Structure 1
Amino acid sequence: MLEDLSSSSDSDTSDSNFKDISSEIDQKPVKKGFFTKLKEGLSKTRNNIVSGIDNIFSAFTTIDDDFYEELEETLIMGDLGVHATMAIIQDLKEKVKTNKIKDPKECKSLLIESIKERMDLGENAYEFENQKSIVMLIGVNGVGKTTSVGKLAGLLKSQNKKVLMAAADTFRAAAIEQLTEWAHRTNSEIIAQHEGSDPAAVIFDAIAAAKARKTDVLICDTAGRLHNKKNLMAELGKIDRVIEREYSDAYRENLIVLDGTTGQNALSQLKEFKEVTNITGIILTKMDGTAKGGIAIAIQAEYGIPVKYIGVGEKVEDLQKFNSNDFVNALFDASNEE
């Protein structure tokens, strides 16, 4: 049976168990606080990558093949991956040649510039915000998928968007309960059914509600059972058919949620899900305290799928849009925190 858990029917809880999203989001300056958390969160990655790079820059007096090989090995060991590393090294070589650089110490700024260029999202990365849209979050259990649905709802609500959430991960009762809590916490509306319901039926009902309520963004949680890819493929295929039939005029965004602490394993998960459905972007969670933050660079180089959001904590505002300048500045402890 359909359960519509809108925030208006539960307003009596807002002053006790849950905070209104405005009280959490509107603590300024959010960006500065987020950058600080990002910088702190990437400290292990920074120690893992940047200290090694700095050692190379100081140890070498000439820019030769040995210099590039040492730099290449350090980047690969820092979870940047082979594809990203090779592209970055090649670009660095071209910049060194063009700028006639002789001193290895002068390469650091060029290296930072090259990494930023490869992570730039372009102008249309968040086009779904400007249109009537449906956003599906996919990923294995345990990566912070359901939490990311709630946080994304909060982020969009802070931009005055009318948001509706769909609890289509019906495989776990805990996912439905958790998303319901996030609906209260972010003052959002939610469409949910009972555990074991047909996920496509939940999406069908959510689309009907989104149309009736003139929702800006419909955000859908989904199950993440990769151990039986055939069932997952059939489930997502059915959901796709429902969306195409019932909401074909909506902008589609499929975001995969990956745990930043898993490093190269995140690439494997992305590969598996990419075989099942079209993926338009990545939410990288748990970036606070991981030594494997270089995976953010590797992912985009390997598959050309951009990291669009990054998470560094448990609070609503701890999920923010990915900014390549902020990320690389935090990673390299750069002084310009713009």
Structure 2
Amino acid sequence: MLPVDVILWIVLGVVVLVSGVTVAVVVSRRRAAELERRRREELPAAPSAPTPTAPEAPAAEAPSGTIAPTPAAPTTEEPEQAGTRMARLRRRLAGSNNVLAQALLGLISSDRLDADTWDDFEATLIGSDLGVGPTTELVDTLRRELSIDGVADPTRAREVLHRELVRITDPTLDRALNLDAADGLPAVILVVGVNGTGKTTTVGKLARLLVAEGRTVLLGAADTFRAAAAEQLQTWGDRVGVETVRGAEGADPASVAFEAVDAGVEKGVDVVLIDTAGRLHNKSNLMDELGKIRRVISKRAPITECLLLLDATTGQNGLIQARVFNEVTDVTGIVLSKLDGSAKGGIVVQVQRELGVPVKFVGLGEGADDLAPFTADGFVDGLLGE
């Protein structure tokens, strides 16, 4: 029989061995579990089963013998008629600080008409861009007409002033747009002017005015130098359902203008309106390009109108611009923007005298329909607050 101390050492060794095996097993199991957990986390998630959807109901068919309704066309704006526009101009001129209007109203409200009054009146008229010739003519006539009664009779004084103003504004000029083209060809209107006068906006407003008169219109975006010009013009056209022909940025303006006129001929529209890039009147290369646009367009259809846009606030500088443009493009009519408000007003008379062409339209403000056909009577009524 083994000694007791030997037996104790053997038992102790067995206990230690069993404990070590147990710990190893537990650690091994935990490590295996940890590895399995990590493996599962690294696997991609299984796709979820698609949610069943109800089958799409078949489109309702129109009863036999009928036509299914088509989607409604996008609505377009209804431009304001021309008749109410000049009435708004008269109201704006009457309530403005227009230099010419103030001078005229100051004259007929004077207590007496002495030499100093007439001298001040004459100086103010010249300062309103009326020009020396028209000013001298108007003052001489008024002094003669009002020499007896003066302004003691305000009604008669106003009548004389109204009559003479209408006369020098020349109501005999034909201010209607020439829309008479050859058979099968549209009227072609070219709009020109210097930078910053608002040609693209004016072309859009003119399109609205023509649409309001029942004309079919096509727009040509021949301003290919200003990145937003074509987009701006198309927006104007879309608002009244008018198509716009445009080219790539930097394209040849004459080519785009020709394509617009060609499209107008093919579609049988009444009027093609061509917007051109603004150009300084003293840049000969740009003015030559304008001449090229005219020549290229004329190969497809005659230009019936060339409208020069002038800023009414530019005064004598506007007249210099007008002379140069007229030499290059044979201007047939003037569009005066910014005539309401602080514009001097006399530019209307002077530009007509200088160029021998009429003012045909005037800008009234920033609204979409703030462009009105010009009339001598309406203009004078506005100046005199009538």
Which category describes the TM-score, using the shorter chain as reference length? 0.7 to 0.9
Other-structure match for 1:255:
307
Kindly tell me: are residues 315 and 67 of structure 1, through their superposed partners in 2, closer, same or farther at Cα, counting changes over 3 Å?
A: closer
Match of 2:291, SS state, is: helix
**Per-residue deviation, 1:129:** 3.0
TM-score of the superposed pair, with normalisation by structure 1: 0.81
Q: Tell me if structure 2 keeps the 8 A contact 1:79–1:264.
A: yes
Does 2:268 align with 1:214? yes
Q: Tell me if structure 1 keeps the 8 A contact 2:80–2:369.
A: yes
Q: Tell me if structure 2 keeps the 8 A contact 1:134–1:218.
A: yes
**Per-residue deviation, 1:253:** 0.5
Match of 1:300, SS state, is: helix
Structure with greater proportional helix content: 1
Q: Deviations over 1:140-185 (max 9, x none)?
A: 1211110010111111111111111110111111111111111111
Does 2:188 align with 1:148? no
1:146 and 1:81 map into 2 onto residues whose CA distance is 30
After superposition, residues 263-278 of structure 1 pair within 5 angstroms as 263-278=315-330
**Structure 1 residues without counterparts, runs of 5 or longer:** 1-10
1:59 and 1:159 map into 2 onto residues whose CA distance is 44
Matching residue's letter, 1:111:
L
- 220-229 or 231-240, larger mean C-alpha shift: 220-229
- Specify which of 237, 246, 252 is matched with residue 291 of structure 2: 237
1:171 and 1:281 map into 2 onto residues whose CA distance is 25
Q: Tell me if structure 2 keeps the 8 A contact 1:43–1:331.
A: no
Matching residue's letter, 1:182:
W
- 310-319 or 105-114, larger mean C-alpha shift: 105-114
- 227-236 or 306-315, larger mean C-alpha shift: 227-236
2:197 and 2:189 map into 1 onto residues whose CA distance is 18
Other-structure match for 2:44:
none
Q: Tell me if structure 1 keeps the 8 A contact 2:281–2:287.
A: no
Q: Deviations over 1:28-82 (max 9, x none)?
A: xx64464234422453344x334444444454646x7655433322211222222
- % of aligned pairs identical? 39
Matching residue's letter, 2:219:
M
- 116-125 or 255-264, larger mean C-alpha shift: 116-125
Q: Tell me if structure 2 keeps the 8 A contact 1:171–1:195.
A: yes
Q: Tell me if structure 1 keeps the 8 A contact 2:196–2:278.
A: no
Other-structure match for 1:25:
80
2:107 and 2:89 map into 1 onto residues whose CA distance is 28
1:272 and 1:12 map into 2 onto residues whose CA distance is 49
Other-structure match for 2:100:
49
Match of 1:171, SS state, is: coil
Q: Tell me if structure 1 keeps the 8 A contact 2:90–2:381.
A: no
Does 2:357 align with 1:305? yes
Q: Tell me if structure 2 keeps the 8 A contact 1:38–1:288.
A: no
Other-structure match for 1:200:
254
Match of 1:224, SS state, is: coil
Matching residue's letter, 1:223:
A
Match of 1:226, SS state, is: coil
After superposition, residues 67-82 of structure 1 pair within 5 angstroms as 68-82=118-132
Other-structure match for 1:225:
279
TM-score of the superposed pair, with normalisation by structure 2: 0.72
Matching residue's letter, 2:317:
N
Kindly tell me: are residues 290 and 55 of structure 1, through their superposed partners in 2, closer, same or farther at Cα, counting changes over 3 Å?
A: closer
Match of 2:365, SS state, is: coil
1:227 and 1:263 map into 2 onto residues whose CA distance is 15
2:101 and 2:112 map into 1 onto residues whose CA distance is 18
1:188 and 1:121 map into 2 onto residues whose CA distance is 33
- Specify which of 76, 86, 100 is matched with residue 136 of structure 2: 86
1:152 and 1:321 map into 2 onto residues whose CA distance is 10
**Structure 2 residues without counterparts, runs of 5 or longer:** 1-70
Matching residue's letter, 2:77:
I
Does 2:226 align with 1:168? no
Q: Tell me if structure 2 keeps the 8 A contact 1:116–1:324.
A: yes
Match of 1:276, SS state, is: helix
Other-structure match for 2:166:
116
Kindly tell me: are residues 88 and 210 of structure 1, through their superposed partners in 2, closer, same or farther at Cα, counting changes over 3 Å?
A: same
Q: Tell me if structure 2 keeps the 8 A contact 1:38–1:287.
A: no
Q: Tell me if structure 2 keeps the 8 A contact 1:135–1:218.
A: yes
Q: Which has the higher contact order (CA 8 A, sep 6+)?
A: 1
1:192 and 1:301 map into 2 onto residues whose CA distance is 36
2:268 and 2:202 map into 1 onto residues whose CA distance is 23
RMSD after superposition: 2.7
Matching residue's letter, 2:318:
A
Kindly tell me: are residues 244 and 33 of structure 1, through their superposed partners in 2, closer, same or farther at Cα, counting changes over 3 Å?
A: closer
Kindly tell me: are residues 69 and 165 of structure 1, through their superposed partners in 2, closer, same or farther at Cα, counting changes over 3 Å?
A: same
**Per-residue deviation, 1:197:** 0.5
Matching residue's letter, 1:104:
G
Kindly tell me: are residues 33 and 244 of structure 1, through their superposed partners in 2, closer, same or farther at Cα, counting changes over 3 Å?
A: closer
Match of 1:197, SS state, is: coil
**Per-residue deviation, 1:14:** 4.2
The structure that has the greater radius of gyration is 2
Q: Tell me if structure 2 keeps the 8 A contact 1:14–1:184.
A: no
2:179 and 2:328 map into 1 onto residues whose CA distance is 25
